[in-house]
Structure 1
Amino acid sequence: MSVLRAVRDVATDRPRASLTGAYAVQGFGFAVMLTHIPAYKDALGVGDDAITLAFGCVCVAAGTGSALAGPVAARAGSRRVVTGGLVVAALGVAAVGLAPTLPLFLAAFVLYGLVLGAVDAALNMQGVDLERLRGTSLLGSFFAANAAGGVLGALAVSGVELWGLGLGVSHALIAVVVLAAVALLAPGLVRTVVRGGPVAPAGRPGTPSGVVPDGGGSAVAGTSPTARAGAPGAGAGVGAGVVVVLGVAMVAYPVGDSAVSSWGSVFLHDVLASGSVVAPLAYAAYQLAVIASRVAADTLVARLGRVRLVRSGGLLGTAGFVLVALSPHWSLALVGFAAVGLGIGVVAPMAFSAIGDRAREVAAPGDLERVTDQALARLNVFTYVGAVLGGVLTGVFATADHLRLGLVALALLASLSALLAGRFVEQRVPADSGSVTAP
């Protein structure tokens, strides 16, 4: 490793740690909302239909928030979207827990969904920025942190239930935890990344390219421009077709995630007669495999390349769903669920890295940040399209007689990731060079 690279890695260590924490906080909060469903039903005296409506509203609101994140980040910066969004999300968590009526509950849930989508998109903007500044794949580990945060959120809900805390008190405490984490992490996030322009973090002219705080006054600056003048499509945004293709390629993850969380234990219990103790292990095997695949993803990108990794992941996910569908015994199905997690878990982070590269190929000098953020926000909408589609599939194939057929449908969807893996090719423009400067 060159001295320059070593210094740059040290300078970006704090932003990397802070962003990892922010991804985990986002996953933590979302898991708290998901795993409190029985408590919501009891507190409001409503049935499954009302809760289904609430989560449908969350998906629509999150898609809207994701789409809005691009223009908002262009004006305020992705760091402010992340920090401000997490603060509002924490308030939304508290409001959901304290809502005395169904209309107020739905309003609080919609508010939470709106910032959920905005923060998701802005986190990925930060992640792509940091990948460029560090010169290596990082999104896999960030997505792993998000999944791990979800596990912690579920454990937190279990803990507050064990202690017998009321819904309002537990949500308020969890909101305080999120707010404290935001206060701790915010100073280390990527503050300003200005590509192809002479703007420094404090508004001082003459400092080229991107700047990342390391907590001690240092900054990472890459040379400019990061897109070639006169390159094909220079000045344009990433085409809608490119966004759609990558979105379709990655949609197997949110659909599969929704389906496994809804069907997994039901399939083991009702179809394979596993017993109530074993049934929850379907989601556990899947989720642990997702985390493991994402932890390894960045290293695997360096060894295999993004295209081979996505193709392998899509094929493994397809095989996993088929194995579950054909399993005569729950033990074999658990292997299949783990294979699904290992396979489709890597696709989403690689899609966001790929859209960042597509932005570099088409953006004019000085316009890369806007083009990238816009493309990332649009791609992130497919996360919630997938969640809605997963809910639809759950309804269509919900009975035990149709679960095997539903798993085959998921296998076909996962195969799209393998078929479209060629669209995940690494950047076709030179990587940033850079230097470390201190003000």
Structure 2
Amino acid sequence: MEQSIDRRRCAMKLHVFTHLRPSFSPARLAVTVVFFINGFVFSNWVPRIPAIQQHLGLNTGMLGLALWGIAIGALLSQSLAGWLVTRLSSRMVMRVASLLYCMALPLPALAMDLPTLMLALFALGLTNGLLDVAMNAQGVVVEQGEGHPVFSSFHAAFSGGGLLGAVCGGLLASFGVAPLFHFCLVAVVTMSAALGAARWLLPGRTDIKRGRGRAIFRPSGLLLLLGFMAFCALLGEGTVADWSAVYLQGTLHSSAGLAAGGFAAFSLMMALGRLVGDHLMGVWGPTVLARWVIWRTSRRQRRLRLSRPLATRDFSPVLL
């Protein structure tokens, strides 16, 4: 009698656990893979920035000018990507952009001078911007189909790809592997993964085509606030990605392998925060969670600026 009761209790616990555990559909897995690929590809570029700089004989100012190519390309393509997604579909744009993005990775290693490097980075940023918009649009469609918050897990996969890519890039750099061979190897592997994930993507909604286009010209105050918050977050991420390896290797004289540790540590902490994001979204909701994050970040920012010497205060947003 007692054994039968125990079996029933175990069966009930197993049923409850299975019911509470979120489903992992093929579409969700495919989007997760593409997010991972995006982070993995970009983070393999990060630890090789000092090698490209030394190979072309660029000083800090010239390198900073070349890195503008990524930002300009991403800015232009993200403005175009929304139009493409509404008229084609996030699935189609995502399929094409993921392949083009992987193919663009070896281009910086083929650069011969500053103008060609800037063009190569422009192509990398252009394809990255297209993929960013398309995969986030596809993530919204998948989350609506899942019926519970999963969007933060996609960005956790991006950060996980950034962590693994930085580690792999650092290891290959420490072994003296040429950037061109390194980038071509990554491109082949990630293109294969992107092709495998493409078949499971969802067609996306069609009702978004009827939306009004005035919002892009007359954004509301709330939209401007959210945009400013995203700008601040991406400013810190972009600074770490573009300059952490250069600073660690050029100023602190660390090895090429250890220079990748800055972006790897940053990606690790982002991944940990994003892994709990979906759970907190389900418990608190987006408004309360956003207010709490802003409040905690502002408090930590204030404490950090007061505790650091004056010479290092300008780097406090990056350290956060």
TM (normalized to structure 2)?
0.79
Equivalent of 1:403, from 297, 306, 312?
A: 312
Q: Which amino acid aligns with 1:403?
A: T
- Structure 1 residues 283 and 182 mapped into 2: Cα distance closer, same or farther (>3 Å)? closer
CA contact (8 A) 2:86 2:208 kept: no
- Structure 1 residues 190 and 114 mapped into 2: Cα distance closer, same or farther (>3 Å)? same
Using the alignment, how far apart are the partners of 1:172 and 1:287 within structure 2? 23
Query: After TM superposition, what 4+ stretches of structure 1 lie above 3 angstroms from structure 2?
Result: 194-197, 234-239, 258-267, 274-287
Q: What is the CA deviation profile of residues 57-79 of structure 1, one whole-angstrom value per residue up to 9, with x for unaligned ones?
A: 21011011101001111232111
2:199 corresponds to 1:179: no
The answer for the alignment partner of 2:78 in structure 1 is 66
Using the alignment, how far apart are the partners of 1:187 and 1:142 within structure 2? 18
Equivalent of 2:285, from 301, 305, 310?
A: 305
Q: Which amino acid aligns with 2:305?
A: A
Using the alignment, how far apart are the partners of 2:158 and 2:145 within structure 1? 21
Using the alignment, how far apart are the partners of 2:103 and 2:240 within structure 1? 29
Q: Mean alpha-carbon deviation: is it higher for 308-317 or for 243-252? A: 243-252
2:295 corresponds to 1:315: yes
CA contact (8 A) 2:101 2:128 kept: yes
The answer for the alignment partner of 2:270 in structure 1 is 290
Q: Which amino acid aligns with 1:120?
A: D
Q: Which amino acid aligns with 1:302?
A: G
The answer for the alignment partner of 1:135 in structure 2 is 147
The answer for the alignment partner of 1:230 in structure 2 is none
Q: CA deviation at 1:54?
A: 1.6
The answer for the alignment partner of 1:356 in structure 2 is none
Q: Mean alpha-carbon deviation: is it higher for 38-47 or for 280-289? A: 280-289
2:306 corresponds to 1:326: yes
CA contact (8 A) 1:265 1:283 kept: no
Using the alignment, how far apart are the partners of 2:291 and 2:161 within structure 1? 27
The answer for the alignment partner of 1:392 in structure 2 is none
Using the alignment, how far apart are the partners of 1:27 and 1:325 within structure 2? 30
Q: What is the CA deviation profile of residues 146-193 of structure 1, one whole-angstrom value per residue up to 9, with x for unaligned ones?
A: 111111111121122233221211111111112111111111122343
Equivalent of 1:163, from 159, 171, 175?
A: 175
Q: CA deviation at 1:131?
A: 1.5
Using the alignment, how far apart are the partners of 1:99 and 1:53 within structure 2? 14
Determine helix, strand or coil for the equivalent of 1:165.
coil
The answer for the alignment partner of 1:223 in structure 2 is none
Q: What is the CA deviation profile of residues 7-61 of structure 1, one whole-angstrom value per residue up to 9, with x for unaligned ones?
A: xx75x61110110110010011111222211110122222222221121121011
CA contact (8 A) 2:170 2:259 kept: no
Q: How many residues align?
A: 290
Structure 2: tracts of 5 or more residues without a match: 1-18
Relative to its length, the structure with more helix (as a share) is 2
The answer for the alignment partner of 1:29 in structure 2 is 41
Q: Mean alpha-carbon deviation: is it higher for 253-262 or for 159-168? A: 253-262
Q: Which amino acid aligns with 1:58?
A: I
The answer for the alignment partner of 1:240 in structure 2 is 219
Equivalent of 2:63, from 45, 51, 62?
A: 51
Q: What is the CA deviation profile of residues 181-212 of structure 1, one whole-angstrom value per residue up to 9, with x for unaligned ones?
A: 11111111223433499xxxxxxxxxxxxxxx
Superposition map of 1:262-273 within 5 A:
262=243
Q: CA RMSD in A?
A: 3.3
Q: CA deviation at 1:92?
A: 1.1
2:163 corresponds to 1:151: yes
Q: Which amino acid aligns with 1:404?
A: R
